[in-house]
Amino acid sequence: MSVLVNKNSKVIVQGFTGNEGTYHASQMLEYGTNVVGGVTPGKGGQTHLDRPVFNTVYEAVQKTGADVSIIFVPPPFAADAIMEAAEAGIKVIVCITEGIPTKDMIQVKEYISDRDCRLIGPNCPGIITADEAKIGIMPGFIFRKGTVGVVSKSGTLTYEAVDQVVKAGLGITTAIGIGGDPIIGTPTKEAVELLMNDPETEGIIMIGEIGGGMEAEAAYWVKEHGTKPVVGFIAGQTAPAGRRMGHAGAIVGGADDTAAAKMKIMRECGIRVVESPADIGEAMADELSKRK
Amino acid sequence: MNIHEYQGKSILKSFGVRIQEGIVANSPTEAVEAAKKLKEDYNSDWVVIKAQIHAGGRGKGGGVKLAKNLDEVKERAEQIIGMQLITPQTGPEGKKVNKILVAQDVYYPGESETKEFYISVLLDRAKGRNIIMYSTEGGMDIEHVAETTPHLIFKEEIDPKVGLQGFQARKIAFNFGLSGEAFKEMTKFVASLYQAYEATDSSMFEINPVLKTSDNKILAVDAKVNLDDNGLFRHKEFAAMRDESEEDPMEVEASRSNLNYVKLDGNVGCMVNGAGLAMATMDIIKLAGGEPANFLDVGGTANAETVKAAFNIILKDPNVKAILINIFGGIVRCDRVAQGVIDAYKEIGNIPVPIIVRLQGTNAQEAKKLIDESGLKVYSAILLKEAAALVKQVL
């Protein structure tokens, strides 16, 4: 078991023949991901990385039976790419693209709300199920198979947490990079819920940052339904109010979206919150050893 | 992107939103000319002189003043242009005023009392939808209203399938207690305002106050307009509205090198790849007893060039007593970053502050070898914990 993706996932790459798509598709193949083809409008019929290229996602799904898509399409066309994947019946859509206008994402969220699919991202590093499938841009070599699930808004901070978990002698089931934009397909709570329901996952690391209310929502859910230890960290304890910290969604607007406010709520809901990002791995190891 | 009041108003006007008319001026002479023109065009005997800076609360700092004749226009303009305006939003050092808006007087007496309202349009992040937030308590700080009289703040959620509906605009006007001509004017105002918000890819409109004049017109007296940076590629015409003099000069320079940099007040500079890790690194610095001097994300394609540019920016900050470089290589190759550190070090010469380099991930071993063999005096760390300890040590 694992969540969202595994070795049987049939993956297509949207924006397959572009620089980003080509580079990361090769890396994904190298990791062992079952990439069955790709989509670049106008290049249908060609072969790229020994895989077929299709003009439309619909055609790719018909011919390959793909159920997962990863999107490396530039911001002006990314919303369209997400909706095309949803319409074609893709079940898990991972959008890596950073810089999609909020207005487009409002439309996307509405469009996919009554379709049978899950969007991860945008502006995210993707998802990886260790030793099975990497559908993203993370460095695969740092991952080891294990029992810890990771949910994070940030890319490199996810790698940091994973590295610490591995160095603490543990490993990863699935790591989900949910993305740093104001509107994302899978909020923290839903990602935590997926891992909580995964029999293989024994502990969950939840990494958030300033801005928005997703971490608080997830914390309240954990308090009600949590059955496994959760270790949390919120980046941006030292970020000033009103300034955007890199990610489009990382901005303190009011008292509720500061790091301190989120950490307090998470603690009150029974989450082990670490002050220092250097303590994530050890805290997880400690929590898991208590349960043994 | 933030823009000035006069720019925001010009956008609103182009969508048919009625505004308090005004003319921007760069000098007292231009201000007097502007006042004469407002008299001609709108029969405005009095005018309001408004400092144009990217911060709210301008009135509280003396940046908004009434002038009742041309002598007063000149005098007030002389006072405000060039002043260091301190408001609750500028910080203690304030902001220099380069431009003023000479605006018509809209509080003239007439058949009915004037009344001020508050309207903003923004994204409700939890719902992923836009909302119109409004209050009968206009002209006041909305955070204060939210604290003291939260029942006087109302919200109208916009369904993205159909957009703002007529009944919603009517509901807003009814909640404001309006009737007759003013009611009709308000529904038109709300509809045009929302249309402008959508069409311009804005991320926030705050109109405070919205004024009902004594002759029952509805107009925007102030306009705070934030444009979605991610939507700017669709609106080339807005690029010219960026006022770099409103931004920190170091932040402007950083953005030219495609670095995501935010200047802070601390003593430890940092250079990191990825926004989340950059914020986490700032937090580490604080926990180690320092204060972060900046946020700096070198991005997913960091190489020797970007590292050099980042170094140059950090070193311009005289408060910086140490630099922490924290790279977790994914796509970014650590050896390239290490080469950038070495090149920059050689090029800049004697860097007077201690440098802590923590490189982990893709090609970290090669990177460490490069640094070790370069003979540079840098502190090298592998684990984040070690980097934190080194920060403590050098401070």
Amino acid in position A57: V
Model confidence at B308, pLDDT cuts 50, 70, 90, reads confident
The token pair that represents B148 in the structure block: 């003291």
Distance, CA of B274 to CA of A41 (rounded, Å): 31
**For residue A288, what are the contacts with CB-CB under 8 A and spacing of at least 6?**
A147, A148, A170, A202, A203, A229
β-pairing, B322-329 vs B268-272, is parallel
Using CA atoms, how far residue A247 sits from A123, A199, A208, in Å, is 8, 33, 12
Residue A228 has pLDDT above 70, yes or no: yes
User: Using H for helix, E for strand and C for coil, what is the string for A87-98?
Assistant: HCCCCEEEECCC
Number of H helices, E strands in chain A: 9, 14
Residues of chain B numbered 199-238 and touching chain A (CB < 8 Å):
201, 203, 228-231, 233-234
Neighbours of A207 (CB within 10 A): 26
Nearest one of A160, A214, A164, A209 to A192, comparing CA atoms:
A214
Facing residue for A157 by CB, picked from B229, B277, B291? B277
Looking at the DSSP assignment, which residues form a beta bridge with residue B155?
Answer: B133
Looking at the DSSP assignment, which residues form a beta bridge with residue B356?
Answer: B324, B379
Radius of gyration of chain A (CA): 18
Contact between A27 and A59 under an 8 Å Cβ cutoff? The reply is no
B206 is catalytic: yes
User: What residue has token string 């949207």?
Assistant: A14
**For residue A21, what are the contacts with CB-CB under 8 A and spacing of at least 6?**
A13, A14, A15, A38, A40, A72
Contact between B178 and B213 under an 8 Å Cβ cutoff? The reply is no
Nearest one of B93, B95, B132, B107 to B46, comparing CA atoms:
B107
The mean pLDDT of A145-171, rounded to a whole number, is 96
Distance, CA of B26 to CA of B28 (rounded, Å): 7
Distance, CA of A278 to CA of B384 (rounded, Å): 5
The mean pLDDT of B39-63, rounded to a whole number, is 94
Q: For residue B256, with 0-12 CB atoms within 10 Å meaning exposed, 13-18 middle and 19 or more buried, which class applies?
A: exposed
Residue B377 has pLDDT above 90, yes or no: no
Show contacts of B234-243: CB within 8 Å, 24+ apart. B234/A76, B234/A101, B234/B201, B235/B200, B235/B201, B238/B1, B238/B3, B238/B200, B241/B1, B241/B3, B241/B4, B241/B7, B242/B1, B242/B3, B243/B3, B243/B4, B243/B54
**For residue B77, what are the contacts with CB-CB under 8 A and spacing of at least 6?**
B25, B27, B28, B31, B32, B49, B100, B102
**Helix A259-268 vs helix A214-225: crossing angle, to nearest 10:** 10
Looking at the DSSP assignment, which residues form a beta bridge with residue A152?
Answer: A177, A207
A150 contact B CB<8A: no
Chain A: closest CA distance from residue B35 (Å): 35
The answer to whether B276 contacts A275, with C-beta atoms less than 8 Å apart, is: no
Instruction: Please pick, among B6, B118, B134, B379, the residue that the annotation labels catalytic.
Output: B118
Using CA atoms, how far residue B193 sits from B4, B9, B105, B122, B273, in Å, is 17, 11, 22, 12, 39
Facing residue for A246 by CB, picked from B198, B297, B331? B297
Instruction: Please pick, among B5, B137, B185, B206, the residue that the annotation labels catalytic.
Output: B206
The answer to whether B384 contacts A277, with C-beta atoms less than 8 Å apart, is: yes
First-to-final CA distance of chain A:
21
Facing residue for B330 by CB, picked from A75, A139, A152? A139
B160 contact A CB<8A: yes
Q: Write down the ipTM of this complex.
A: 0.92
Higher pLDDT pick, B255 / B162:
B162
**Helix B275-287 vs helix A155-167: crossing angle, to nearest 10:** 60
Residue-wise pLDDT for A229-266, tens only, equals 999 999 999 998 888 888 877 877 777 789 999 999 99
A159 contact B CB<8A: yes
Residue-wise pLDDT for B189-208, tens only, equals 999 999 999 999 999 999 99
pLDDT of residue B85: 95
Q: For residue B161, with 0-12 CB atoms within 10 Å meaning exposed, 13-18 middle and 19 or more buried, which class applies?
A: exposed
3-state helix, strand, coil in chain A (%, to 5): 40, 20, 40
Compute the mean pLDDT over every residue in chain A, rounded to the nearest whole number: 95
The mean pLDDT of B336-358, rounded to a whole number, is 87
Amino acid in position B380: S
Contact between B155 and B125 under an 8 Å Cβ cutoff? The reply is no
Contact between A68 and A6 under an 8 Å Cβ cutoff? The reply is no
A260 contact B CB<8A: no
The answer to whether A238 contacts B388, with C-beta atoms less than 8 Å apart, is: no
Residue A154 has pLDDT above 80, yes or no: yes
Residue-wise pLDDT for A28-75, tens only, equals 999 999 999 999 999 999 999 999 999 999 999 999 999 999 999 999
Predicted structure pTM score: 0.94
Model confidence at A1, pLDDT cuts 50, 70, 90, reads low
Nearest one of B276, B255, B142 to B204, comparing CA atoms:
B142
The mean pLDDT of B290-303, rounded to a whole number, is 89
Distance, CA of B123 to CA of B202 (rounded, Å): 10
DSSP string, A195-217: HHT-TT--EEEEEEESSSSHHHH
Contact between A209 and B249 under an 8 Å Cβ cutoff? The reply is no
Amino acid in position A55: N
B361 contact A CB<8A: yes
Nearest one of A206, A212, A211 to A193, comparing CA atoms:
A206
Give the chain A residue whose CA is nearest to the CA of B358. Answer: A160
Please give the torsion angle defined by the CA atoms of residues A95, A101, A103 and A109, in that order, rounded to the nearest 10 degrees: 10
B315 contact A CB<8A: no
A246 contact B CB<8A: yes
Facing residue for A156 by CB, picked from B198, B264, B274? B274
Distance, CA of B151 to CA of B145 (rounded, Å): 9
Percent of chain A with pLDDT over 70: 100
**For residue B292, what are the contacts with CB-CB under 8 A and spacing of at least 6?**
A238, B264, B266, B268, B270, B281, B282, B285, B286
Residue of A97, A181, A183, A238 to mutate when probing chain B, most B C-beta within 10 A: A238
Nearest one of A126, A132, A129 to A148, comparing CA atoms:
A129
First-to-final CA distance of chain B:
36
Higher pLDDT pick, B37 / B258:
B37
Residues of chain B numbered 107-136 and touching chain A (CB < 8 Å):
123, 125-126, 128-130
Chain A: closest CA distance from residue B229 (Å): 8
The mean pLDDT of A124-153, rounded to a whole number, is 96
B382 contact A CB<8A: no
A134 contact B CB<8A: no
Residue B330 has pLDDT above 70, yes or no: yes
The answer to whether B230 contacts A248, with C-beta atoms less than 8 Å apart, is: yes
Could you give the 3-state DSSP secondary structure of residue B388? helix
B392 contact A CB<8A: no
Q: Taking CB atoms and an 8 Å cut-off, how many pairs form between chains A and B?
A: 174
The answer to whether B272 contacts A247, with C-beta atoms less than 8 Å apart, is: no
Give the chain B residue whose CA is nearest to the CA of A164. Answer: B383
